[in-house]
Structures are given as C-alpha cells and as structure tokens.
C-alpha cells in the first residue's frame, strides 16, 4: 500500500472546514463514529407509548411524562392502575434485593450489589449469586445462604429457577444438577459430564447455528415444575480446532485455544434427549433410534401448555424436520408435523399456542412461509394465509374475536407491513399504510394502535391508527437537524431486472452534488447470505455512506434473490451452490447501473464481512467486473466452515463434491481480477483464520498481488475501537487509491484512481 497516497487522500477527507454546495463536509472520523465532533443522522423521536392502563397514551419520558387521551388529545391526570399482582411482584423483587444485600454485606463487612439469577414467576422466590455462593429469598422470610462453591472448584453455570420457585437447575462440570431452594439439598442428574460430554449445556456448533449465539443453556423446566428436559451432547468424535493467541498480555509465549468444531462432512456431536422426573428422582431417555441413520440434530425443545414435551428432530443435512410431542412420563412420542423440502427446512419456530386448544404454525411447505391452524390433537384445521409471499411472524391473537395479526412481505419484500386475518382464514386486510417498515403496538382493547414507521425516504414517525389501520394522527416525527448542516444525498429505491427478468430490490445513493455529465465510481457493500437482505425500506442513518457520497462515489446495495426475503421458493435457488446465483444477480445489477454514462464500469468496488467477505472474494475470482474488493472474515472454501450451517445449504462434501469445488474461492485464486484487500481476526472462532491463510497461500502460488491485514485478539468482527479505526483507514486508502472519485465538488482535482480490472492486481 502507498502510505503517501493514503495521507494525500485523507487530507481531502479530513478538512472539516470545507463545505459542499448543500452543507458541511463530513470528516472521516465523523463518518466512522470516532472523536468528539459526532454527527447523528438517526434523529430524535419524541417518545409515545401506551400508559399502564392500556387506554391512555404517555408522551415523553422521565419526569416529563404526560398522559394524553388518544381520542381528544387532551392531557389527563395519570390513572392509578391497580394491578395487584404486578405491584406485589415488584415489591417482592425489591424486598429480595435489599435483604440479600444486607445479608451479604454483613457477612463481608462491605456493601454489595447482588446479581439476581431468577426466581418464581410470581416473585415470591428469588435466587442470587455472589462470589459463587447462592442465596435465596422467600416471601415473608429473610435472605439466607443456600450453598457455597463446590469442593471440586467447579462453578455453577446456566442456573434457572423452576416456574413455581421450589427448585433451581444448573450445570456444573458439564453435568446437570437441581437444588431444593427450601433445604439446599442438591440432586445430581448425570454423572458422565466432562471434556467430551455436555449435559444440559450446548457445545459451540449447537449454540452458534441452532439455539442462538451465546445461548448455551440446554435444559428446560416443564410448566408445572415437575420435569426437566435436557440435551446430552457427546463430542468424542468431533475434531478439535486450535486458535493461537499471539498477544496474551504479560506473556511472550503464545496461548492456544482448542475448541471442538465440526467442519462440513466431519462427525457431528451425537445428541440425546432426556427427562428428569423431579418428584421421583428418575431419569428417562427419549428413544431417538428411529433417527440414528440420519445423524440427527435436535434443533428445538419446548413444553406445551398442557405439559407435553415438544421437540424437533432434523436429519443431518436438514431436508426434513419432525415436530414431535412426547409424554414425559413414558417417553413415548408421535410426530405431529413432518416438514420436508427438496432443499432445506429452516429450523422451525415455536407454535403460537391457543387458549382454546390447538396452535398456529408457520411453515414454508408450499414454498412460501404461511400460517396454518391445528387443533388440540394436532390435526390440521386449514390454511390462514396463502400466495407467493412469506409471512414473517405472528404478532397477536384474539381468540374471542377470531382474529390474528401478523407481519408479512405481501406488498414488497423490503417493506415490513402488518396484516389481520380471521382464524378461519377469512378477511385478510393490510393495516399499516404507506411504504416503509412498520412496527405496531395495540391498546388493551385493540381499538387503536401506535405505528412506528420509517422508510429510505423518510425518518421515523409515530402514528395513531384505528383498529382498521386508518391514520388518525401523526403524533411525532423525527428531528434530524444534522441533515440541514451537512451535505447529504437521498437514497433511491430501485427494482433492477436480472437476466431472467427477476426483479432485484436495490437502493442507490448518488454523489451529493450529482452531475449526470460526470462519471462516478460505484461502491457495493453486501452480505448476500441466505435470506439476509442488505436493503430494507427503512431510514438509513449511515454517516459512512454519506461520506462516500460526498467524495463523489455512488453507493449501491442489492438484495440478490437468495437474500431477498421473498420466500423459500426464491431463496432456495442458492441450494448446493452458495455464491453462484448471488454473483450472477450482483453482476446483473452492476451491469444495469453502469449502462448509465455517469456510473463508471471500470471503477466498481465491492465489500462485505463474513458471508459478505466470501461474496467479495468470489466476485473477484469469478468475474472481471470489480476493480476493488475488500473482504473481511470470509469463508473461502465451504469445506472449512461448520457442519450445521454449511450442510443446510450445501449438503455434505461427500454428497455434493461438485458444488464444493464449483464454489471454492481457493480453486480460482489464479483468476483473481482487480485489487483484493483481505482482513481477518486471528482469534475468529467462527470463520477460522485458516480460511484467509489458505487463500493467501493459493494467491501466492498463483503469483497474484493482494493486500492482507490480520487483527490480533479479534474474533468474528473487528470490535476494538483502535483496530476498527485502523481498518477504516485501510478501507478508505484502498477506495481512494483504486476507485478515486469524480471532479471534487469544491473544484479540487479528484484523487487519481489506480489499479482496476486492467491493472492486473
């Protein structure tokens, strides 16, 4: 990289006193959220919420709150809301906190602040932990010490209190325990926990790809507190992966970090599902033998309101999902819903249970996610929604009225709208008005709702609407004073036809002083992973993109069809060939834009992180359309990524060898076109730095020039402020060196562009 050119480029960007025709110029620091001279394009929106009585509105916050009659707009005195249960619960929690702090403070001779781990649903029991000692408080009694650290030196993890407050369950040394909160007596449910066996706790791949990043708890209390369902994961056959920390503070030697990490095609952890019977002390295992040949994944565990165990089993490559209901006493179960697909079945959500028995279920069985109703016996009662558009989620149900409210992409995939339909599938109506992304909140009797909405064209506002969606009043609009101070450009929402006529949703930010007689570079930030749109029709407050627009750069974002949010039938076009359809769509969008004489086809850049990093590297090795690509944290051969995510979309390398080779960035290193800037976190435990190292090696062997930056002690995402600033400087250097800009809006000459597809970098 050329250091003198970096600082000459930055000199243009950092002149805070310079102005554009419409306003001030952003500095690079401001565009990066760095320094004291901040800029805010989000805006401030006056707070409006429903009052605790569910009738009035509350305007403002803190001491400035005012109660408003929603129909007259007149200010009202706050109504004393008599919710005895809520008040009693809050009082109990506060009493518990004070009692604990008093007890521990007297014991240690200092003031302490306890950490409430949980308690009964009514607040009558609270459990705290301080320095690995448990304390319990019961309504009407004093706080007391329950138990101290275990003699083994192992700490409790993931403690969760039963709904009735009688017991708590936790994991210690990868074994599951429960403790009686009245006596302190512990019950040990498993004996085989250790380095390879996890009882009641998830391993890395299960928490990352199935139950949610950072959520390791793998046990669940029944509603009546009499049973604990839990998973057992055995990693004995799972291969280890070692990361090396080269910067451990205070040491001159490296520190290894070893994690069991199944890559695509490798052995997965074997899974078991058991039920602990709290009253009898018995432990029973659910027989999963029927699934053994499929190398099963247990992807969801829950309880029905009636106390039945509800669990979902998928085959290894996730083309099927059996939703099962089990009797916790006998372990016998039946399959209630068998989901299947020619591609993959996404992890099913939880049902929306109906008070009158039965449930609502969201399924993509038709190719589009729609709502189904089932009776209490699990028999289908009909389809509530249908069409070539997907339902997002159920927002509310009123069984007395026979109505369901839900979000969906019926009227545009980049918008988020709310609809109402009858429980019998009749009377479908859209409630939210106008384009944009809507989020609603009803009053108690559902006669009115608040609609918080914004779009690419308009900052957020709060509307008061009647039950059928008629806008009665706009209560508040965002104030964005920095829009008047700084030169900005407006986002344009586009639909771009792909080569087969499919319409790709896109958004374009033109240079601030756009002149169609000039020629501008194009910058394409992307993610493009399955069903993960980059473009949404909501207010975009990015100062970085506005900075680029001020520098004479077009910013283009595109939802390739497999990341469009337009339903499984569309998204699944990436099946067994991740990145191939995505690049075709991106190339079509870029070609469409650069047919305009003001968009320079020789100066197009692309960037992304994680899947976006994969997309960027694939674009530079499988096309000649991009002068620059900045790829961060990418997977460069799908065989190096984890089994559950990869095989969902690619099957296994053994079953789909052609797909893995076709989509490999490593195999195409010799075809690199344009300038590649690659960066990766050394301690990335998600997308291992091995990906970058193998790509670096392949590029070196192919004799290709490229730029590469490692970020020590960084995992999946550069979060350290100083390292983020370093990355931003590197990004801006690469953009200004390689793409340059149009004639500067203040009359200065543009930064000279170097490189590009013809430069052989």
Q: What is the mean pLDDT of residues 169-176?
A: 96
Output phi, psi for 315, to 5 deg.
-70, 165
Supply 287's token pair.
Answer: 């027989």
pLDDT of residue 79: 76
pLDDT at residue number 22: 64
Q: What is the arithmetic mean of pLDDT over 59-85?
A: 81
Query: CA quadruple 259, 264, 267, 273: dihedral positive or negative?
Result: positive
Mean pLDDT value of segment 572-594 = 98
pLDDT at 746 over 70: no
Q: At what angle do helices 611-622 and 580-593 cross, to 10 degrees?
A: 70
Give the pairing type, strands 48-50 and 133-138.
Answer: unpaired
Query: CA–CA separation, 359 vs 754, rounded Å?
Result: 61
- Amino acid 267: pLDDT: 97
Give residue 113's pLDDT.
65
| Range with the poorest average pLDDT among 250-259, 432-441, 496-505, 726-735 | 250-259
Rounded to whole angstroms, the Cα distance separating 118 from 263 reads: 36
Asked if residue 24 lies in contact with residue 745, where contact means CB atoms within 8 angstroms, the answer is: no
In this prediction, residue 1 has a pLDDT band, given cuts at 50, 70 and 90, of very low
* pLDDT of 178 above 50: yes
Q: At what angle do helices 3-13 and 721-738 cross, to 10 degrees?
A: 100
Mean pLDDT lowest for which of 250-264, 360-374, 500-514, 601-615? 250-264
Q: Is the pLDDT of residue 67 over 60?
A: yes
- Dihedral, 172, 177, 178, 183 alpha carbons, nearest 10: -80
Q: What counts of helices (H) and strands (E) characterise the chain?
A: 13, 43
| Cβ within 8 Å of residue 90, ≥6 positions away | 123
- When pLDDT is averaged across residues 326-340 and rounded to a whole number, the result is 95
Angular region, 165: left φ>0, alpha ψ -120 to 50, beta rest: left
C-beta separation of 522 from 533 below 8 A: no
- pLDDT for 742 beyond 60: no
660 vs 127 pLDDT, higher one: 660
* Location of each CATH 2.140.10.30 domain in the chain: 191-350
Residue-wise pLDDT for 382-419, tens only, equals 999 999 999 999 999 999 999 999 999 999 999 999 99
Please state, rounded to an integer, the average pLDDT across all residues of the chain: 90
CA distance 417 to 411: 8
Q: What pLDDT, on a 0 to 100 scale, did the predictor assign at position 62?
A: 78
Nearest CA-CA partner of 502 in 446, 406, 573, 452 = 573
- Residue ranges in 635-717 assigned as alpha helix (H): 643-650, 657-662, 690-701
Flag whether pLDDT at 658 surpasses 50.
yes
pLDDT for res 80: 67
pLDDT tens digits for range 155-171: 889 999 999 989 999 99
More confident residue, 533 or 112: 533
Reported as a pLDDT band with limits 50, 70 and 90, residue 5 is very low
Q: Which fold has domain 3-43+482-759?
A: Rossmann fold (3.40.50)
Residue range 492-524, pLDDT digits in tens: 999 999 999 999 999 999 999 999 999 999 999
Between CA 553 and CA 741 the distance in angstroms is 6
Does residue 147 or residue 22 have the better pLDDT?
A: 147
DSSP label at 584? H
pTM of this structure:
0.91
- Long-range Cβ contacts of 177-185 (<8 Å, 24+ apart): 178/228, 178/276, 178/278, 179/134, 179/146, 179/147, 181/125, 181/127, 181/136, 181/138, 181/146, 182/138, 184/146, 184/147
Whether 211 contacts 650, CB under 8 Å:
no
Q: Report the 10 Å Cβ neighbour count for 401.
A: 11
| Residue 8 pLDDT class (50, 70, 90 cuts) | very low
Residue 84 has pLDDT above 90, yes or no: no
Answer yes or no: is pLDDT of 629 > 90: yes
Comma-separated ranges of CATH 3.40.50.1820 domains in the chain: 3-43+482-759
Is 282:236 a contact under the CB 8 Å cutoff?
Answer: no
Name which CATH class applies to 191-350. mainly beta
β-strands 628-632, 675-681: how paired?
parallel
Q: What is the pLDDT of residue 432?
A: 98
């Amino acid at each position: 990289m050329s250091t003198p050119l970096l600082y000459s480029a930055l000199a243009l960007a950092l002149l805070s006193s310079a102005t554009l025709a419409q306003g001030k110029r952003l500095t690079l620091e401001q565009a990066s959220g760095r320094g004291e001279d901040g800029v805010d394009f989000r805006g401030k929106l006056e707070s409006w919420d429903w009052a605790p009585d569910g009738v009035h509105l509350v305007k403002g916050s803190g001491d400035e709150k005012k109660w408003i009659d929603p129909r007259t707009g007149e200010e009202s005195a706050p109504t004393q809301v008599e919710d005895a249960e809520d008040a009693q619960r809050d009082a109990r929690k506060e009493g518990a906190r004070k009692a604990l702090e008093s007890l521990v403070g007297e014991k240690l001779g200092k003031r302490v602040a306890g950490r409430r781990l949980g308690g009964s649903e009514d607040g009558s029991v609270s459990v705290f932990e301080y320095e690995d000692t448990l304390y319990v408080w019961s309504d009407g009694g004093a706080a007391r010490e329950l138990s101290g650290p275990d003699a083994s030196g192992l700490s409790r993890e993931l403690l969760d209190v039963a709904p009735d407050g009688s017991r708590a369950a936790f994991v210690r040394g990868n074994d599951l325990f429960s403790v009686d909160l009245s006596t302190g007596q512990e019950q040990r449910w498993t004996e085989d926990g250790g380095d390879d066996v996890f009882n009641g706790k998830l391993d890395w791949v299960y928490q990352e790809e199935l139950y949610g990043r950072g959520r390791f708890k793998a046990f669940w209390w029944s509603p009546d507190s009499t049973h604990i369902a839990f998973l057992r994961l055995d990693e004995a056959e799972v291969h280890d992966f070692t990361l090396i920390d080269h910067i451990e503070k205070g040491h001159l030697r490296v520190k290894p970090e070893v994690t069991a990490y199944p890559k695509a095609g490798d052995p997965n952890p074997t899974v078991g599902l058991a039920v602990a019977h709290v009253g009898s002390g018995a432990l029973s295992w659910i027989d999963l033998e029927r699934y053994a040949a499929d190398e099963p994944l247990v992807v969801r565990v829950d309880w029905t309101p009636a106390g039945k165990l509800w669990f979902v089993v998928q085959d290894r490559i996730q083309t099927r999902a059996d939703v099962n209901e089990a009797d916790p006493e006998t372990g016998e179960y039946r399959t209630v819903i068998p989901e299947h697909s020619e591609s993959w079945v996404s992890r099913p959500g939880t049902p929306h249970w109906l008070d009158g028995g039965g449930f609502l279920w969201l399924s993509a069985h038709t190719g589009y996610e729609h709502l189904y109703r089932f009776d209490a016996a699990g028999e289908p009662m009909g389809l509530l929604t249908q069409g070539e558009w997907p339902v997002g989620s159920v927002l509310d149900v009123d069984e007395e009225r026979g109505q369901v409210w839900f979000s969906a992409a019926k009227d545009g995939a980049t918008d988020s709208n709310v609809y109402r339909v009858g429980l019998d599938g009749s009377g479908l109506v859209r409630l939210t008005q106008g384009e944009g992304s809507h989020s609603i909140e009803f009053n108690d009797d559902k006669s009115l709702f608040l609609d918080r909405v914004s779009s690419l064209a308009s900052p957020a506002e709060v509307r008061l609407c009647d039950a059928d969606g008629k806008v009665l009043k706009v209560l508040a609009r965002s104030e964005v004073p920095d829009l008047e101070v700084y030169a900005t450009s407006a986002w344009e929402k586009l639909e771009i036809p792909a080569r087969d006529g499919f319409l790709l949703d896109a958004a374009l930010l033109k240079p601030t002083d756009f002149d169609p007689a000039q020629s501008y570079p194009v910058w394409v930030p992307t993610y493009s992973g399955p069903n993960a749109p980059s473009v949404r029709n909501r207010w975009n407050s990015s100062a970085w993109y506005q900075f680029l627009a001020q520098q004479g750069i077009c910013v283009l974002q595109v939802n390739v069809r497999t990341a469009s949010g337009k339903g499984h039938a569309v998204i699944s076009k990436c099946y067994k060939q991740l990145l191939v359809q995505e690049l075709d769509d991106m190339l079509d969008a870029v070609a469409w834009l650069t047919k305009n004489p003001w968009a320079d086809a020789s100066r197009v850049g692309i960037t992304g992180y994680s899947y976006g990093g994969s997309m960027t590297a694939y674009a530079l090795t499988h096309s000649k359309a991009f002068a620059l690509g900045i790829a961060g944290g990418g997977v460069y051969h799908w065989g190096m990524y984890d089994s559950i995510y990869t095989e969902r979309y690619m099957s296994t390398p053994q079953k789909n060898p052609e797909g893995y080779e076709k989509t490999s960035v490593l195999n195409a290193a010799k075809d690199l076109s344009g300038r590649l800037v690659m960066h990766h976190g050394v301690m990335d435990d998600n997308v291992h730095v091995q990906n970058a190292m193998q790509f670096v090696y392949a590029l070196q062997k192919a004799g290709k020039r490229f730029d590469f930056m490692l970020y020590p002690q960084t995992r999946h995402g550069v979060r350290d402020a100083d390292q983020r600033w370093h990355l931003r400087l590197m990004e801006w250097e690469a953009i200004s060196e390689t793409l340059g800009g149009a004639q500067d809006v203040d009359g200065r000459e543009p930064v000279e562009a170097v490189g590009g597809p013809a430069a052989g970098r």
